[in-house]
Structure 1
Amino acid sequence: MFSIDQLHTLVQTLTKSEKRYFKLVCSLQEGDKAYLTLFNLLENQLEGGGALYEVLEKQFPGSSVEPVRKHLYRVLMKALRLYECEKTTENKLASLMQDARILFAKGLTELGFDQLEKIKKLAMRTEKHLYYLMAARLELQQLVRTQFSTLDETQLLRKQQQWQTVMQREQTSHQHSALYEILLCRYWKNGLVRSMNEQTRLNDLLLEEHQIIARNPQKNSFEAQRLHLHFQSVFFLMTNDAEGSLRAFYDLHELFQRHQDLWTDTPIYYIHLLDGILTDLRGLQRYDDMDYFLDRLATLTALPEGLSLLARYLTFIHRLARLNDTSQTADAVALVRTVASTLERELPGLPANVVALVRLSVARTYRDGGQPTLALKHVNAVLNDRATAGRTALQSQLWYNQARLLNLMIHTDLGNLDYLRYELRSVERKLKADKKLYQVERSMLSYLKGFLMGKPDTTFIPTVQQLADEPTERQLVLALGLAKWAADNCRNTEASQKQLVD
């Protein structure tokens, strides 16, 4: 059951036009409109949590808010469905399906069949095969009701064969999508391949993908090409072939530009495409080439609110990464300040991995900007997050290790040596247990152990520079800002030791 907090979040994410449409729907209804009072309250109350409940208690004493809350949710969702019904091809197809069912129910069989033909043609043109299958199945059901009065057996067999052909095509597409989703899940959860075992598991997926393509008669369709290029780009990215991944992403971007009418209903794939290109360009340190794709991502403001928010924060992450990587710290801090007032309110509307990346990017910026306390606040928010499926699931995320390493770096800057000793042992145990003690982690832990004993490793800076040149380690080195931190920390340590000697 949805809570008042979730309803408050829903209201806060509405666009101005959605709010106007909702109020127009409300004006057509008669009777008590306490639900509209609740809507106005949730719209005007920007702060959630305890502050929201205090206002609700005054306006709706006792438990009187419960029936109002439920009714508001029903009316609001109905209004949003009506508002969206003609905006996308899928919504148009769904509306046409509903129209066809109504026409058949009213006995207007001929008009119903005409409607189904429209659906099938639109579905095939836009590669929405599931809607074709639903329309074709409804057509066959209605033909049974009419005792096949309008066609002979040959025509019936042709319709059944066409349904079977489209069904097989959709099944192949589903299998291809499933492989891509598994690959994408591994990338978001575990990051780049950093061991032979991970490489072997990835090669198994690649072999399966080749087999699916070989038996796909529609391999030149937009959907088949999109899935293949997406799969290739992420595969190359995970196997540290940034050049190969970037080539696949560029091919994918060209494909999207040629068939804009076929993906506007599912813009999430275009967002993932731009995010992948920007990630590759950063990994290759081709920062000037990022401008065009950053502008493309920043212009995706006409999307549904959730996707628009995702595009905006991915743009923020990549712009912040470029500023941090190129040592433009003052500009990076200024960019963070532009979102500081809305950050906590908007983050719950983003996927968990994006929330973590936003916080870690902000934490790295504050750390580089000499504000370790603010940096620590965001790192702790990542480490203490329970919003996902619990701590075990959280620790399997790509960004969890990054957060723990960044936590060590910040406490080193703060000089919290007692805490650092405890946390260093904890991190090492965890990484060894998970078999994730890779080169960056090993080098950093070794340096910090020496640092705590007053004997910092003098080879740490060249080691970090060497790791930055290795594809398997470069992404983490860049994300942590490890090269700059190593230089600053070693310089400060040398200065401190010199003062003690003097």
Structure 2
Amino acid sequence: MKIPSTFLHDLVLGLTKSEKRYIKVQAGGRNKDYLGLLEALLAQKTYDEAKLIKDNEGANFLKYLAVNKRYLYALLLRLLAQYGQKTVEDQVRTTLDAARVLMKKGLFPAALKELKKGQKLATQYELFELQISLCGLQKKLSNKQKRVMLREDDLQQLFELETNALKQLANINEYWYLAQRVARFQMKFQKSQNEEQQQHLVELSQSAPFVNPELATNFRSKLYFYQANATFQFMNGEVKKAYEINSQFLDLLEANPHFLSLYTENYLATLNNMLIDSLIIKEYDVLEQGIHRLEMTLKRPEFKSMKNMESRVFRQRYLLLINWSLSQKDYGKVLAWIPEIEAGLQKFGDKIEKHHRITFYYLLAYLLFLNKRSDEAVRWNNLILNDAKEDVVKEIYYFARVLNLLIHFELGNEDLLGSLLLSTPKYLKSRRPIYTTEKALFRLLGKLLNTPGRKERRELLSGFNAELSNLSQQVSERRVFNYLDLSLWEPH
């Protein structure tokens, strides 16, 4: 099967320095064609096969490019699977592999010892899928040892172990399905918006697994239980309840550190949700403690094997701090963080996903504008405007166009502003309906361009502010004020 070129390039670009070093060591010191291909791919930020061929004319790997691409892709997947700290699951699988080898050699007692070692780990960490594999291999082992029949208590223990594992997997499946249905609803509608959607949520919330945590009979099921309930409460606007459930989720993981190493991703996602909840309900002491808790994950051994951990903490921390300053209307506080944020964005590059980088650009442009630093705001806003793809967080691209008008008004770029007042409404109209607030702003800016007198300008602004006061109360206009609170604008 042909491996799509972007798959290979994406995999190569995601390699860490230590992973690259490991791959080169494992490949050996000889000059291999696929290593030349690896270096060539690392040199490209965006995959361009024609340019790859042109820039590496005469290279051996080009003679059989398709073959080398397939080989390199398979090699990287194999080596990356071997690389780094072994997970608990890997340790159990190692005992399974060892038992199979020993069984082939006829060393049955040694094989049984490996299986029991694996079962001990699988039981401790509730790895039910692997428990079933271990039970299956132990049954094969007992069949091979026809001369040594299993004792009755061993036979019963094996039967009960596999029966329980199957039962627990069914329980996990039930709670996974519940959590996925709630999450799917959130992705589609964000919040319940009409009676039909509300009824759908009510039906989900009245099911026995949703209501009764005692029915979640293992750790993984409990995680899904908390996830479903927290998401449900958040969608219903019960942010404080969502915060309390997320807090219980984290306490459960903290109280079971051996499970925390298995569910680090769940921990970080839930911690971020809890911090957002605490920001919304204005529990600022909890927010401050939570940000410290987030920073401390960099020092915890459970998180050391997580990829891009430093960039993730940087991103979550500063987005929370910025939104905290916005909620407290302390717009000047962010100015001190901008050099650190800019340095972090440069340091981590593509390790910070594009939608988060675009969010940073907009927030910094907006806050610089509010701090009357439009000459700096324009640079950050242009990072959004100059991206023609508009393939993530599209609303930010749209409101960046509106912010662009205000920035150039403050900079006194009247000729450019006149042109933008023609192009911006056309741009927006081709993508979404124009908000009434935006139309009012466009009218105001057009009139201000043609009104030199101070008294007349003050009258125009007074009328605009009165109109804004009414518009800000309308639910249909709320998105505008969430992204760009025009009541905070103080024209020069």
- Relative to structure 1, the CA distance from residue 341 to residue 104 in structure 2 (aligned partners, 3 Å threshold; closer, same or farther) is same
Q: Does 1:258 align with 2:255?
A: yes
Structure 2 residue aligned with 1:500: none
Q: Identity percentage over the alignment? A: 16
Structure 2 Cα separation of the partners of residues 263 and 382 of structure 1: 41
Structure 1 Cα separation of the partners of residues 266 and 388 of structure 2: 26
**Contact 2:209–2:215 (CA<8 Å) still a contact in 1?**
no
Q: Does 1:293 align with 2:293?
A: no
- Relative to structure 1, the CA distance from residue 309 to residue 101 in structure 2 (aligned partners, 3 Å threshold; closer, same or farther) is farther
Q: Does 1:107 align with 2:103?
A: no
Structure 1 Cα separation of the partners of residues 312 and 162 of structure 2: 37
Structure 1 Cα separation of the partners of residues 424 and 445 of structure 2: 8
Structure 1 residue aligned with 2:229: 232
Give the AA of the match of 1:88. T
Give the AA of the match of 2:331. S
- Relative to structure 1, the CA distance from residue 121 to residue 70 in structure 2 (aligned partners, 3 Å threshold; closer, same or farther) is same
Q: Normalization by structure 1: what TM-score? A: 0.75
Structure 1 Cα separation of the partners of residues 63 and 283 of structure 2: 58
Structure 2 residue aligned with 1:176: 175
Q: Does 1:487 align with 2:488?
A: yes
Give the AA of the match of 2:20. K
How many pairs does the alignment contain?
450
**Further displaced range: 108-117 or 168-177:** 108-117
Q: Normalization by structure 2: what TM-score? A: 0.76
1:331-346 paired onto structure 2 within 5 Å: 331=336, 333-341=338-346, 345-346=350-351
Deviation, 1:119, is 1.8
Structure 2 Cα separation of the partners of residues 155 and 487 of structure 1: 74
Structure 2 residue aligned with 1:391: none
Structure 2 Cα separation of the partners of residues 189 and 307 of structure 1: 29
Deviation, 1:319, is 3.3
Structure 2 residue aligned with 1:211: 209
Secondary structure in 2 matching 1:99:
helix
Give the AA of the match of 2:281. L
Q: Does 1:418 align with 2:426?
A: no
- Relative to structure 1, the CA distance from residue 361 to residue 378 in structure 2 (aligned partners, 3 Å threshold; closer, same or farther) is same
Structure 2 Cα separation of the partners of residues 217 and 164 of structure 1: 18
Write the deviation string for residues 400-425 of structure 1: whole angstroms up to 9, x where unpaired.
44554454444565542223333454
Structure 2 Cα separation of the partners of residues 247 and 54 of structure 1: 58
Structure 2 residue aligned with 1:499: none
Structure 2 Cα separation of the partners of residues 345 and 232 of structure 1: 33
- Relative to structure 1, the CA distance from residue 98 to residue 463 in structure 2 (aligned partners, 3 Å threshold; closer, same or farther) is farther
Deviation, 1:177, is 1.7
**Further displaced range: 128-137 or 293-302:** 293-302
Structure 1 residue aligned with 2:33: 34
Structure 2 residue aligned with 1:432: none
**Higher normalized contact order (CA 8 Å, seq sep 6+, divided by chain length):** 1
Structure 2 residue aligned with 1:98: 97
Give the AA of the match of 2:106. G
Give the AA of the match of 1:107. G
Structure 1 Cα separation of the partners of residues 119 and 225 of structure 2: 26
Give the AA of the match of 2:335. A
Runs of 5+ in structure 1 lacking a partner?
Answer: 386-393, 430-440, 496-502
Structure 2 residue aligned with 1:375: 381
Structure 1 residue aligned with 2:315: 313
Write the deviation string for residues 208-247 of structure 1: whole angstroms up to 9, x where unpaired.
3x3366496554x433332222222222222222211111
Give the AA of the match of 1:331. A
Give the AA of the match of 2:424. L
1:399-438 paired onto structure 2 within 5 Å: 399-401=393-395, 403-411=397-405, 414=408, 415=417, 416-426=420-430, 429=433
Deviation, 1:122, is 1.1
**Further displaced range: 452-461 or 143-152:** 452-461
**Contact 2:233–2:242 (CA<8 Å) still a contact in 1?**
yes
Give the AA of the match of 1:118. K
Secondary structure in 1 matching 2:331:
coil
Secondary structure in 2 matching 1:417:
helix
Secondary structure in 2 matching 1:305:
coil
**Contact 1:362–1:375 (CA<8 Å) still a contact in 2?**
yes
- Relative to structure 1, the CA distance from residue 81 to residue 178 in structure 2 (aligned partners, 3 Å threshold; closer, same or farther) is same
Structure 1 vs Structure 2 CA RMSD: 3.8
Give the AA of the match of 1:126. Y
Deviation, 1:32, is 5.2
Deviation, 1:276, is 0.3
**Further displaced range: 332-341 or 241-250:** 332-341
Q: Does 1:280 align with 2:263?
A: no
Structure 1 residue aligned with 2:77: 77
Runs of 5+ in structure 2 lacking a partner?
Answer: 299-303, 369-373, 409-416, 448-459
Deviation, 1:274, is 1.5
- Relative to structure 1, the CA distance from residue 9 to residue 316 in structure 2 (aligned partners, 3 Å threshold; closer, same or farther) is farther
Deviation, 1:300, is 4.2
Structure 2 residue aligned with 1:20: 21
**Contact 1:93–1:123 (CA<8 Å) still a contact in 2?**
yes
Write the deviation string for residues 89-146 of structure 1: whole angstroms up to 9, x where unpaired.
1111122222222222222222222222222221121111111112112222333444
Larger C-alpha radius of gyration, 1 or 2? Answer: 2
Q: Does 1:160 align with 2:164?
A: no
